[in-house]
Structure 1
Amino acid sequence: MDEWEVAGFLDRLKHRLTFASLYCDKKDRTAFTQLFKELFDTIHLVTGEQLKIHPFYPDGNCRVVIMDGEVPQAQAFGDFLSEYNNPEISNIYTRNHIDELGPHIPQPVISRLRSIMGLQTQVEIDEWHQFCTEQTEPAIANWYAHKLANPWILPSINKFLSRITPGDRDITPNHSNYVETAHAGRNAETSVGVGLLTAILQAKERDNIKARELAQILHEGVMGNRWNGSAEREKLSSQCKTWKMRSATIRNDQLTNYETLKAERDSGVAENKASLARQKELEFQIKALQADIALDKHRTDLPAQVLSLRRDIMEEKALRSEWGL
């Protein structure tokens, strides 16, 4: 049994709210279609009014519906909209899965695929399609084929292709974090794997607690966390991204320094081996000179040569000591 959250953010009260929890044991197109019907019917039953989506009702306050990029879910919403009103209006805003192609895909290729979200002319769109058709990597070919097989995906991530009005799109988040965090929060408070009735009763109790909190805020005019609005969250998100970029820069510098030091160490190891080889040769020459001295003690030049070779050995040892080897 899976639970589906319908959530949003009430900026006036600085709270994320779960408006509805739906339970279903299937994830196909038919099941999702029924979920959407049940949701809108329940809203009408509870409030006495139909939930109006702005593209279909000029006075509607629901501008955009954000959901996961599951194909059955999106198709089901399209089926629901065909009964709700005009089926030709695009009203799905979803995420893509470029990051799931794999680490073996070059970053320039990933960046080019991701650029679809910012293209603003038909010429740019056509060039992007041409780029995709020229790719031979199976993962990219499958990713692109998936987008062609589901023509609602690209309009949902590209403003130029979308039929959502620019004003509505500009005020719509480009993520589904509200519902994702609502789902995670619900799981943390009520656990997972519980029976259906238990899950419903736990959700009811949780919603009652939230309702009392909001009523207290409205009555007393005091919020537990008044710096929790969209603007504040965007600021914190921007600061977090800046910090991550700074950390990444520092790490890249450290990696560069590490590679430099590693190269120097490798060079030092090689030089150390060469120095030991030279010292061994010098010691061999000293032994040979000492043998000559033993045979002819009247040779006054040989001790001087031995002394010179010993100095060379000391220099080799001093060189190796600089590397600590």
Structure 2
Amino acid sequence: MVNNRKRREILQSVRAANFPDGTGMKAVLREFEKDKSRNIGDRYIHSVIMQANMDIIITINPDLAELVHDASWIMVDTTFTVVHGTTNEWKLLIWLKGLDKRTVIGRVWSNKATREAFVVVWNGIFEAIKLITGKLLNFKVFSKKSSLLGAIGDSEGAQAQGLGDVIILRRMNTPQVNGIPTVTVDGILLFIWKTCLVHFKRGVFKLEAHVDDYVFNCLLGFPYLETSEEIAAYHDFCQASKNPKVQSWWAHKISYPWLLPSLNRSLTQMNHLHWDLTPGDTNPIEGSHVQDNQVNHTNLTILEAVLSYNIFYFIYSCC
């Protein structure tokens, strides 16, 4: 066992015995075909999309899916260490009010992080929840029957825009009924999306070596501005900067009309009570990455990654 080559040979022989069809996407597709023969309440893999250069696998634990209808908020994030290669894991986490704890109810495996890919991801999530639970998932601002106050993620625009696209695609908002006149993606995200403050601060800290203390502290203070005058002065301050690092940072922030409002209570269109009842950062889901890595391995093949969490969910649901 001290010989690296011998260890690799042993692992390869075990893998060949356990996975005669291989451990790539074709093997995942065959596993999905097996899942489709089961009752909806027993399925774990709910869709596999393979088109052009985009591979997406949507998995949801059916025993946990019902809980999302009682969740106060959802949180999403991507982690990059579980699967070997270009495929990453994207998690859907909810907060359970009754148990006062976080729970990951779904995992998506994707080799793309574009807006188009996230349209497929979000639509697959909403469709799977509808099929499993028999109920449509929506946000409280669009449907009084819903308990979902908002969604929290990092400042990557694609996943937020993909969510907005799917809300329009699935006609989740009916302006003439609820009075929320959102017919564009940017307008929709103003009412439901919060960007993680920790990620915002990380971006500012990357500028620390390139600006003086006064500029650094000014940039860092945006989420805490309260008046329209303060916010206008902040815009003018950033717009007037001659520092190329600050210019690039500011260009990213204003390229998404919903991004700055998703960081500041005074700018958001989200109900302020909803804002106060949802987290300001993605620490709960970041912590789940560490917890997962303590239970499961990293650098797995795609089939092993998908199946390992299926087993993990099975153990969880039996305890």
Q: Which of 23, 26, 31 is residue 117 of structure 2 equivalent to?
A: 31
Highest CA radius of gyration, 1 or 2? 1
Any idea what the Cα deviations from partners look like across 1:8-48, whole Å, max 9, x if unmatched?
Answer: 23353343211101111111111111100001111111111
Give the aligned partner of residue 58 of structure 1: 144
Cα distance in 1, alignment partners of residues 207 and 132 from structure 2 = 44
Contact 2:153–2:282, Cα closer than 8 Å, also in 1: yes
Give the aligned partner of residue 5 of structure 1: 91
Give the aligned partner of residue 279 of structure 2: 173
User: Any idea what SS the aligned residue of 2:280 has?
Assistant: coil
Give the aligned partner of residue 298 of structure 2: 192
CA RMSD of aligned residues (A): 1.7
Cα distance in 2, alignment partners of residues 111 and 144 from structure 1 = 15
Any idea what the Cα deviations from partners look like across 1:209-263, whole Å, max 9, x if unmatched?
Answer: 22233xxxxxxxxxxxxxxxxxxxxxxxxxxxxxxxxxxxxxxxxxxxxxxxxxx
- Quote the offset at 1:59 in angstroms: 2.2
User: Any idea what SS the aligned residue of 1:162 has?
Assistant: coil
Cα distance in 2, alignment partners of residues 45 and 3 from structure 1 = 23
Q: Percent identity?
A: 29
Contact 2:151–2:193, Cα closer than 8 Å, also in 1: yes
- Does 2:289 correspond to 1:183? yes
Any idea what the Cα deviations from partners look like across 1:244-294, whole Å, max 9, x if unmatched?
Answer: xxxxxxxxxxxxxxxxxxxxxxxxxxxxxxxxxxxxxxxxxxxxxxxxxxx
Moved more, 35-44 or 107-116: 107-116
- Quote the offset at 1:155 in angstroms: 0.5
TM normalised by structure 2 equals: 0.63
Read off the aligned partner of 1:148 and give its amino acid letter.
I
- Does 2:127 correspond to 1:45? no
Contact 1:8–1:178, Cα closer than 8 Å, also in 2: no
Cα distance in 2, alignment partners of residues 13 and 177 from structure 1 = 18
Cα distance in 2, alignment partners of residues 94 and 163 from structure 1 = 14
- Does 2:172 correspond to 1:71? no
Higher strand share: 2
TM normalised by structure 1 equals: 0.62
- Quote the offset at 1:143 in angstroms: 0.8
Give the aligned partner of residue 321 of structure 1: none
Give the aligned partner of residue 98 of structure 1: 204
Read off the aligned partner of 2:204 and give its amino acid letter.
I
Higher RCO (C-alpha under 8 Å, 6+ residues apart): 2
Any idea what the Cα deviations from partners look like across 1:172-202, whole Å, max 9, x if unmatched?
Answer: 1100112222233223322222222222221
User: Any idea what SS the aligned residue of 2:108 has?
Assistant: strand
Cα distance in 1, alignment partners of residues 139 and 243 from structure 2 = 41
Contact 1:119–1:158, Cα closer than 8 Å, also in 2: yes
Contact 2:208–2:216, Cα closer than 8 Å, also in 1: no
Moved more, 46-55 or 80-89: 80-89
Contact 2:222–2:234, Cα closer than 8 Å, also in 1: yes
Q: Structure 2: state its 5+ residue gaps.
A: 1-86, 174-181
Count of residue pairs the alignment pairs up: 213
Any idea what the Cα deviations from partners look like across 1:126-162, whole Å, max 9, x if unmatched?
Answer: 1111111222211111111111111111000011110
Higher helix share: 1
- Quote the offset at 1:106 in angstroms: 2.1
User: Any idea what SS the aligned residue of 2:303 has?
Assistant: helix
- Does 2:218 correspond to 1:112? yes
- Quote the offset at 1:99 in angstroms: 1.8
Read off the aligned partner of 2:193 and give its amino acid letter.
I
Cα distance in 2, alignment partners of residues 164 and 43 from structure 1 = 24
- Quote the offset at 1:118 in angstroms: 1.6
Contact 1:5–1:182, Cα closer than 8 Å, also in 2: no
- Does 2:261 correspond to 1:155? yes
Give the aligned partner of residue 255 of structure 1: none
Cα distance in 1, alignment partners of residues 115 and 109 from structure 2 = 15
Q: Which of 216, 228, 239 is residue 122 of structure 1 equivalent to?
A: 228
Contact 1:9–1:178, Cα closer than 8 Å, also in 2: no
- Quote the offset at 1:75 in angstroms: 1.9
Runs of 4+ in 1 over 6 A off after TM superposition: none
User: Any idea what SS the aligned residue of 2:211 has?
Assistant: coil
